[in-house]
């Protein structure tokens, strides 16, 4: 199933940047409703009802409707960011807790919303920021929105947000970014253009011990 979904995604978005093993593991968790399962889904069979008949638990849409919404969102609004490896994509909340809890304050990542059709969420550590949605992004693009938010500084794990998103920033903010990038310090081990590095293995995350209220999210519904 995951290979088929990956092919669908890269074909529609017109990208060579595949869904990685963490993305695919989350998709399996989602369709089987096993958010805390860290084992191998390889031998499990997906029924048509699970795929596109039964609504997801607590939602008003099926798995396929949700996945298709993310694909359409990415095709219409996010493909440049996805191609540059700036969007983490599909990731479960337990895994997300683990990543951000061990990251410096101000670290954030971009994940597809799992609670609505066609949304992208900025998840970040510690600070609280009010949500923005479709109308906001029609006025101001995703990169400019990220540049506006003082509380977030580094795209996971340690790339300056201005270095990561600078080429997509527009207007007056662009002038400020040009100054900041000459030079802009960055913690070790990641250079821009290398994509999102692997987070801690999914199997290493103890769901029962996941930190609570250590990150916040706001949803950019572009679709």
Q: Which residue has the tokens 């590095």?
A: 197
Confidence of residue 81 (pLDDT cuts 50, 70, 90): very high
Average pLDDT for 98-122: 89
Domains, in order of start, for the chain: 2-220 (1.10.238.10)
Confidence of residue 207 (pLDDT cuts 50, 70, 90): very low
Over residues 166-194, the pLDDT tens digits come to 999 887 666 555 555 545 455 554 544 55
Q: Identify whether 157 is preceded by a cis peptide bond (ω within 30 of 0).
A: yes
Average pLDDT for 47-56: 91
Poorest-pLDDT segment among 56-60, 147-151, 167-171, 205-209: 205-209
- DSSP-assigned beta bridge partners for residue 58: none
Count Cβ neighbours within 10 Å for each residue of 20-40 and write b for 16 or more, e otherwise: bebbbbbbbbbbeeeeebbee
DSSP 149-179: -TT--EETTTEEHHHHHGGG--HHHHHHHHH
- Where is mean pLDDT largest: 40-44, 160-164, 170-174, 176-180? 160-164
């Amino acid at each position: 199933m995951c290979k088929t979904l990956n092919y669908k995604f890269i074909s529609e978005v017109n990208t060579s940047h595949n869904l990685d093993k963490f993305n695919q593991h989350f998709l399996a968790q989602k369709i089987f409703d096993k958010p805390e399962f860290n084992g191998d889904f390889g031998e499990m069979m997906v029924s048509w009802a699970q795929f596109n008949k039964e609504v997801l638990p607590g939602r008003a849409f099926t798995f396929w409707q949700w996945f298709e919404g993310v694909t359409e969102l990415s095709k219409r609004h996010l493909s440049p960011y996805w191609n540059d490896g700036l969007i983490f994509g599909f990731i479960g909340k337990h895994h997300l807790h683990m990543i951000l809890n061990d990251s410096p304050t101000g670290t954030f990542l971009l994940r597809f919303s799992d609670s609505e059709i066609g949304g992208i969420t900025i998840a970040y550590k510690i600070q609280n920021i009010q949500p923005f949605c479709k109308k906001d992004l029609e006025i101001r693009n995703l990169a400019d929105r990220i540049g506006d938010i003082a509380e977030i500084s580094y795209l996971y794990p340690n790339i300056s947000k201005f270095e990561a998103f600078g080429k997509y920033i527009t207007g007056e903010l662009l002038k400020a970014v040009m100054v900041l990038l000459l030079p802009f310090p960055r913690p070790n081990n990641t250079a821009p253009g290398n994509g999102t590095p692997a987070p801690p293995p999914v199997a290493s995350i103890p769901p029962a011990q996941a930190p609570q209220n250590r990150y916040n999210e706001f949803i950019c519904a572009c679709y």
